[in-house]
Chains A and B, each alone.
Chain A
Amino acid sequence: MSATAPAPAPSPDTKVDERLLKTSPLRGLMGRPELGSVVGAIAVFLFFAIFADSFVRAASLSTVLYASSTIGIMAVPVALLMIGGEFDLSAGVMVTSSALISSMFSYQMTANVWVGVLVSLVVTLAIGVFNGVMLTRTDPPSFIITLGTFLMLTGMNLGFTKLISGTVSTKSISDMQGFSSARDVFASTFTIGGVDFKITILWWLALVVVATWILLRTRFGNWIYAVGGGEDAARAVGVPVNKTKIGLYMGVAFGAWISGQHLLFSFDVVQSGEGVGNELIYIIAAVIGGCLITGGYGSAVGAAVGALIFGMVSKGIVFAEWNPDWFKFFLGVMLLLATLLNHWVRKRAEATA
């Protein structure tokens, strides 16, 4: 359960250590946690390619990728945290907090926008550390701890914004120094073959690459699987459980910071009440992507594909021009189908591997 690496059945008559056995690339692929979600994503894509005329146009796909990337930037670190066996319910509003901090700090201090961006990074990471330390130093489960953080952040977003700006949204900072360069980094578009793509797609891909490298190639990655698979066993073999968890919460905070800066620099004014409910979408994306809710199993690529499925379904319904009254119903049905397909494929893969 705690292993992601493919575990081929060892034949009893060989004396070779099973970990040293060579596996065929196909077998290796079959055992990957993201396999099911990739099949699900292809199915969803084909479905909308058939039923929504405008879905396969390049500009439409750019829109779908943008929607997916804004979910995916958070789904990837949230998936890592889930592999480590914990939840973060504060992830959705933390994005809004991060954007509010940058905006208000820059505005109130009349500072270069980049100063606010850096202060926001420090504060957002501190929120992640707070979650991690609270969790590791006390007894309640992460569900309760981060629910507390969620409520506190929701209140603070509103309270501080009202206190400082006098209204419930921030002032516009678009005329301040550093804004345009910061927008280039967090909210610009780039063109490939005449089609505009949002830079969040690159942030998303970069996060997937980094997270995958951490999971599969570093000691920290092993710790994450170990902690999620069995905390006590991990501690017994010397894995620094607390450090690992705090690190994972900081990862989520980092993702929230990127998303928050995107929010700020693409919309320039931030509404303090936003973000509530998005934490569930991130968790859903990670689960569609093959992460186990109980921890110890999953992948960053899977979470990214989960976000892609969510993005394709939610925008595909619009492209298909179905009756909007039923939007949420369609969304639920499609997600359920994609997840079931994903689950079925994984079961088959495990049976044959």
Chain B
Amino acid sequence: MARTRTWVSIALAGALGVSLAGCSSTGGKRAEDARKAASAQGRAAVNTPKWTFAMITHSGDGDTFWDIVQNGAKQAAVKDNIDFLYSHNAEAQQQAQLVDAAVDKRVDGIIVTLAKPDAMKAAVARAEKAGIPVITVNSGSEQSKAFGALAHIGQDETIAGEAVGEELNKRGRKKALCILHEQGNVGHEQRCAGVKSTFHGTVQNLYVQGTSMPDVQSSIGAKLQADRSIDTVVTLGAPYADTAVKAKADAGSKAEIDTFDLNAKVASELKDGTLGFAVDQQPYLQGYEAVDLLWLYKYNADVLGGGKPVLTGPQIITKDQAAALEEYTKRGTR
């Protein structure tokens, strides 16, 4: 035992030693801190009662996209003097139970996604019955009104896909590959189908295992090697765009990489021309608007959209806009 302890202390001392000695003079947190100007401290802008809003999404663990939605919602919550609760579960049944729990807690408003609408129907109805206003975001634009929600805020996935198809036409593309990183996700299928419907060339779908980047890279690489005539790769999530860039290099392909959604890496790669374009649905806006609209409803009985979904996208982002957006992607709001 004594020997083990000696080894542990040697290891710890060693680790500490190298960490003190081996500082990086480039990059890192110090550089970030230096970059960051003092941001405004969040303070409530209104003196309405402290209402509690719950947001329940179908997000999986550690999803960049939902992180941005949350950032938007939290920002609005601070401003509107709202106690904001967030929970998520990728399983529809579990998500419905989370909604039930929020209803039981007698929150003042609920924001919910309808990725699997049928499973959510009863839970949303229960909230209505308890007199809790519901706003749907992101997915479920078709069901939102029927379920009795106040409004829907989000991007229509098919419309977003169609916008990509049109942009590809503009760029004179012939054969596109649509990379789906979650097999069985309805929104993903709609996006690729949307691309297919407006694109004059051909579109092929490719399913990859989104939880393993090496698998994504080697699958896209294999496809590009198998079919040399592919001149465009469209990824459905920002983290996969950069992986597609690497796969393209591996395969020695000339294809253009385009993507749905933004992140810091995508913004910088758009700027330097590595990526063609990105189509953004402004997740920050989905979170922010949902909270703000619930507040407006509680305070002033306002509603938006007049029964039609309020669209937050698609916004096509190319080299020209990327430079301006880069800073916002770094702080996690775009």
- Also in contact, A173 and B18, with CB within 8 A (given A272-B62, A318-B226): no
Residue of B nearest to A263 (CB): B213
User: Is the beta-carbon distance between B206 and A59 smaller than 8 angstroms?
Assistant: no
A175 on the B face (CB < 8 A)? yes
Taking the closest CB of chain A, its distance from the CB of B304, in whole angstroms, is 28
B64 on the A face (CB < 8 A)? yes
User: Is the beta-carbon distance between A54 and B25 smaller than 8 angstroms?
Assistant: no
User: Is the beta-carbon distance between B18 and A118 smaller than 8 angstroms?
Assistant: yes
- Also in contact, A111 and B226, with CB within 8 A (given A122-B15, A158-B61): no
- Also in contact, A269 and B239, with CB within 8 A (given A318-B222, A321-B226): yes
User: Is the beta-carbon distance between B211 and A267 smaller than 8 angstroms?
Assistant: no
CA distance A267 to B222 in the complex (A): 18
- Also in contact, A54 and B67, with CB within 8 A (given A63-B221, A263-B214, A273-B62): no
A271 on the B face (CB < 8 A)? yes
Q: Which of B22, B64, B227 contacts A111 (CB 8 A)?
A: B22
User: Is the beta-carbon distance between A59 and B225 smaller than 8 angstroms?
Assistant: yes
State how many residues of chain A have any CB contact under 8 Å with chain B.
69
A64 on the B face (CB < 8 A)? yes
User: Is the beta-carbon distance between A67 and B63 smaller than 8 angstroms?
Assistant: no
A109 on the B face (CB < 8 A)? yes
Residue of A nearest to B212 (CB): A278
User: Is the beta-carbon distance between A166 and B29 smaller than 8 angstroms?
Assistant: no
CA distance A114 to B14 in the complex (A): 13
Query: What string of 1s and 0s marks CB contacts (under 8 Å) between B200-242 and chain A?
Result: 0000111101011111011101110111000000000001001
Q: Which of A281-316 contact B (CB under 8 A)?
A: 311, 314-315
A205 on the B face (CB < 8 A)? no
- Also in contact, A315 and B62, with CB within 8 A (given A115-B22, A169-B239, A175-B26): no
Taking the closest CB of chain A, its distance from the CB of B183, in whole angstroms, is 7
Taking the closest CB of chain B, its distance from the CB of A228, in whole angstroms, is 25
B264 on the A face (CB < 8 A)? yes
Stretch from B100-108, B119-127, B243-251 at the A interface: B243-251
Residue of B nearest to A171 (CB): B32
A188 on the B face (CB < 8 A)? no
Task: Give the residues in chain A near B31, CB-CB below 8 Å.
Answer: 110
User: Is the beta-carbon distance between B64 and A154 smaller than 8 angstroms?
Assistant: no
Task: Give the residues in chain B near A78, CB-CB below 8 Å.
Answer: none
Task: Give the residues in chain B near A321, CB-CB below 8 Å.
Answer: 226-227
CA distance A91 to B214 in the complex (A): 16
User: Is the beta-carbon distance between A173 and B15 smaller than 8 angstroms?
Assistant: no
Q: Which of A172-204 contact B (CB under 8 A)?
A: 172-178, 196
CA distance A168 to B265 in the complex (A): 14
Task: Give the residues in chain A near B305, CB-CB below 8 Å.
Answer: none
B252 on the A face (CB < 8 A)? yes
Query: What string of 1s and 0s marks CB contacts (under 8 Å) between A150-175 and chain B?
Result: 00001001100110001111011111
Task: Give the residues in chain B near A320, CB-CB below 8 Å.
Answer: 226
Query: What string of 1s and 0s marks CB contacts (under 8 Å) between A257-272 and chain B?
Result: 0000011001111011
CA distance A254 to B55 in the complex (A): 40
- Also in contact, A158 and B15, with CB within 8 A (given A63-B218, A321-B226): no
Task: Give the residues in chain B near A64, CB-CB below 8 Å.
Answer: 218, 222
Task: Give the residues in chain B near A315, CB-CB below 8 Å.
Answer: 218-219, 222
B24 on the A face (CB < 8 A)? yes
Taking the closest CB of chain A, its distance from the CB of B228, in whole angstroms, is 9
A-B contact count (CB 8 A): 176
User: Is the beta-carbon distance between A271 and B30 smaller than 8 angstroms?
Assistant: no
Q: Which of A111, A266, A273, A311 contacts B61 (CB 8 A)?
A: A273
CA distance A60 to B23 in the complex (A): 41
User: Is the beta-carbon distance between B223 and A274 smaller than 8 angstroms?
Assistant: no
Task: Give the residues in chain A near B214, CB-CB below 8 Å.
Answer: 66-67, 70, 262-263, 266
User: Is the beta-carbon distance between A276 and B211 smaller than 8 angstroms?
Assistant: yes
- Also in contact, A169 and B225, with CB within 8 A (given A59-B251, A67-B215, A113-B24): no
A137 on the B face (CB < 8 A)? no
A328 on the B face (CB < 8 A)? yes
Task: Give the residues in chain B near A53, CB-CB below 8 Å.
Answer: 226
CA distance A54 to B251 in the complex (A): 12
Taking the closest CB of chain A, its distance from the CB of B186, in whole angstroms, is 14
B19 on the A face (CB < 8 A)? yes
A342 on the B face (CB < 8 A)? no
B60 on the A face (CB < 8 A)? yes
Taking the closest CB of chain A, its distance from the CB of B288, in whole angstroms, is 17
Residue of A nearest to B242 (CB): A267
User: Is the beta-carbon distance between A271 and B62 smaller than 8 angstroms?
Assistant: yes
Task: Give the residues in chain A near B187, CB-CB below 8 Å.
Answer: none
A220 on the B face (CB < 8 A)? no
Taking the closest CB of chain A, its distance from the CB of B1, in whole angstroms, is 12
Residue of B nearest to A167 (CB): B332
- Also in contact, A114 and B226, with CB within 8 A (given A266-B246, A273-B60, A275-B211): no
Interface set of A (CB-CB < 8 Å, partner B): 52-54, 57, 59-60, 62-64, 66-67, 70, 105-115, 118-119, 122, 154, 157-158, 161-162, 166-169, 171-178, 196, 262-263, 266-269, 271-278, 311, 314-315, 318-321, 324-325, 327-328
Across the A-B interface, give the 4 residue pairs with the lowest CB-CB distance, nearest first. Answer: A273-B62, A110-B28, A112-B22, A176-B27
Contacts A/B (CB < 8 Å), 26 sampled: A59-B252, A64-B218, A64-B222, A107-B28, A107-B29, A108-B29, A109-B29, A110-B28, A110-B30, A112-B22, A154-B61, A172-B264, A172-B265, A175-B26, A176-B24, A266-B213, A266-B214, A269-B265, A272-B62, A275-B212, A315-B218, A321-B226, A324-B204, A324-B205, A324-B207, A327-B207
